[in-house]
Amino acid sequence: MKKLIIIICSFFVFGCGLQSSDISQLEGFWEIQSVKTDGKVVKTFKASFNIDHYAFGDSLSGVFQKVVPQFDGNFKASENQSVFSIRKEDHRWWIYQKNLIDSFRMQVVTLTNDKLILRKDSTTTEYTYRRFEPIMLQEE
């Protein structure tokens, strides 16, 4: 009986998945940590000079841009930006991005306040990000 209760509770915790109210956690700055293919880590990043920035225009769409953190706490944005929209299809959340050259979609595998895992459409490649924390140099 105890095992059955644990299984049922696990279903409710993990089976419900990401809710639409959780999607707002995507907004902000994300630093890549690693890339996996077929479940194996193929690249890790101790630090990254390019940070991914998602800015919502409305509840499920906005602008994606690569930015470079500056020592004063600001960011220098690249001139290239993509528009994105988020849709739920077959119980999965997808980020659709479109820029001047390409359009693609990424599945949101995990999204919490400090962790983001995206899987490139129709592949086994996963990108793991952490919420970017700027390093502020204090003047004395």
Domain of residue 70, CATH code: 2.40.128.280
Query: Is there a domain that residue 91 lies in?
Result: yes
Mean of the pLDDT values across residues 60-77?
91
Rounded to two decimals, the pTM is 0.80
Q: How confident is the model at residue 22 (pLDDT cuts 50, 70, 90)?
A: confident
Mean of the pLDDT values across residues 35-44?
96
Which residue has better confidence, 20 or 95? 95
| Mean per-residue pLDDT of the chain | 84
Query: Is there a domain that residue 7 lies in?
Result: no
Q: How confident is the model at residue 100 (pLDDT cuts 50, 70, 90)?
A: confident
Q: How confident is the model at residue 5 (pLDDT cuts 50, 70, 90)?
A: very low
Provide the number of structural domains found in the chain.
1
Host domain of residue 63: 19-131
Three-class SS string for the chain? CHHHHHHHHHHHHHHCCCCHHHHHHHCEEEEEEEEEECCEEEEECCCCCCEEEEEEEECCEEEEEEEEECCCCCEEEEEEEEEEEEEEECCEEEEEEECCCCEEEEEEEEECCCEEEEEECCCCEEEEEEECCCCCCCCC
